[in-house]
A = this chain, B = another copy of it.
Amino acid sequence: MTQDIISKVKTASKALIALASVSGAAKDEALRAMASALDANREKIISANDRDIEAAEKLVKEGKLSSSLLKRLKVTDIKINGMIAGINDVVKFEDPVGKTLAGLELDYGLELYQVSCPIGLIGVIFESHAIENTTGLPKGAFALMETREEVNEILKLDEYISLIIPRGSNEFVKYIQDNTRIPVLGHADGICHVYVDSAAAHTKAIDVCYDSKVQYSAVCNAMETMLVHRDIAGEFLPEIGRKYNDAGVELRCCDRSYEILKKMGFLKAVLRATEEDWRTEYNDLILSIKIVDSIDEAIDHINKYGSHHTDAIVTENKGNATKFINFVDSSSVMWNASTRFADGFRYGKGAEVGISTNKIHARGPVGMEGLLIYKYVLLGSGNKVADYAGENPKPFTHKKLNISLADRMEGAK
């Protein structure tokens, strides 16, 4: 079997050379075919998903699967619409391959171009997957691996695979990261915060905090910890607490917030938070709450306990907003907006590849640009470094060029 996987991956890696020369129009056609296939097979997909959900529900009951994974598994008509819209958005984008990103004359007759190109063979690994056949592209360009053994084999093939994109639970992503030398694009944790500043506008604070937690709690960009300035806590916490109570949110509170919320007899689930809560991604209708004495304490808490994913401040004080934006070390920082906006589609990227908490290559919501890199192309006329080195070196001109490599090649020699 191992041999079979290696040969599949080798085939895909060779098909890439053909794929690199496929025109933008052909790629668009393949994308449109995928969107049509999704649309034409709605019922099939949803009924297959129904069976998956049924099986998964059993596993949840047996404690073998988390309920948040179950939620993510559910495919609805609206979700399929979203997939189709995402694909069509990608079609609308210009082909990003082969663009000249920069041009520099090193010397007369010696020109350097930086040109975009695909990263290469990418391993996308879904924890709960449903992969379709693709048409119109070189055979073997996509390889489907289904078992855990096959996935483990793939993780060893760093000679052929340039990037791994895992989609699934934290444990799954961590497993992938710990078991491969191949770069992994993805995020393991989404511990997002909203900080309600002393200068917060009341309605904005309520809207942002409610939406960040309740709009969809099973996902990585939902808030897990709410930080509230002490000066506003007495007024703000009872009202947001009532709303969370109505939505069935369990509240895990620091001592000070516990005192305020516990007084409201009708709140069902008010518990005391432990140190562990500040480090926990619930992915569920659970929220930890902490009252802080200052914006600095909020920033320190976020940088210490957060996952550098997405964090928001609610304030009318521009200085505080600027401070929060500069000092919170996260891929997305929101001022008076819900953390749930951190998403490739909402950020205008079309289909989302993932949200990265890596600090290299691609960070935050990632679209097609995360699948691209560049190469340098140097056009000369027999130039030798010897002329530009030693005791009497020729100087470089380093003059910016405003022509694309494609146009330059068109006119060349």
| Interface, chain A (partner B; CB < 8 A) | 17, 20-21, 78, 104, 106, 110, 112, 119-120, 162-163, 177-178, 181, 183, 185, 201, 203-205, 207-208, 210-211, 215-216, 303, 314, 316, 318, 321-322, 325-327, 329-338, 340-342, 346-348, 358-365, 373-386, 388-389, 391, 396, 398, 405, 409, 412-413
Give chain B nearest CB distance to A381 CB in angstroms: 5
Give the docked Cα–Cα distance between A326 and B23 (Å).
13
Give chain B nearest CB distance to A109 CB in angstroms: 9
Give chain B nearest CB distance to A335 CB in angstroms: 5
Give chain B nearest CB distance to A34 CB in angstroms: 22
B375–A330 touching, CB < 8 Å: yes
A378 with B335, Cβ < 8 A, contacts A21-B326, A211-B386, A348-B398 known:
yes
B20–A327 touching, CB < 8 Å: yes
B378–A333 touching, CB < 8 Å: yes
B337–A210 touching, CB < 8 Å: no
Copies in the complex: 2
B383–A337 touching, CB < 8 Å: yes
Contacts of A104 in B (CB 8 A): 347-348
Partner of A326, one of B20, B110, B207, B382: B20
A359 with B162, Cβ < 8 A, contacts A376-B347, A382-B337 known:
yes
Contacts of A384 in B (CB 8 A): 207-208, 210-211, 215, 338, 340
A365–B360 touching, CB < 8 Å: no
B396–A348 touching, CB < 8 Å: yes
A359 with B373, Cβ < 8 A, contacts A208-B382, A322-B409 known:
yes
Contacts of A178 in B (CB 8 A): 181
Can you name 13 A-B residue pairings with CB atoms under 8 Å?
A: A104-B348, A112-B348, A120-B329, A318-B412, A325-B405, A332-B377, A333-B377, A336-B382, A337-B379, A340-B385, A348-B396, A360-B360, A360-B362
Q: Which 6 A-B pairs have the closest CB atoms?
A: A337-B380, A204-B382, A211-B384, A340-B385, A361-B361, A348-B398
| Sample of 19 further A-B pairs with CB below 8 A, known A104-B347, A316-B413 | A17-B327, A78-B391, A112-B348, A120-B359, A162-B360, A207-B382, A207-B383, A208-B380, A208-B384, A210-B384, A215-B385, A215-B386, A215-B389, A318-B413, A321-B409, A331-B375, A332-B376, A336-B380, A365-B376
B177–A347 touching, CB < 8 Å: no
Give the docked Cα–Cα distance between A240 and B163 (Å).
41
Contacts of A375 in B (CB 8 A): 330-333, 363-364
Give chain B nearest CB distance to A147 CB in angstroms: 25
Give the docked Cα–Cα distance between A413 and B317 (Å).
9
- Most B CB contacts (10 A, CB to CB) among A329, A330, A360, A396 go to A360
Contacts of A120 in B (CB 8 A): 329, 359
Give the docked Cα–Cα distance between A373 and B376 (Å).
20
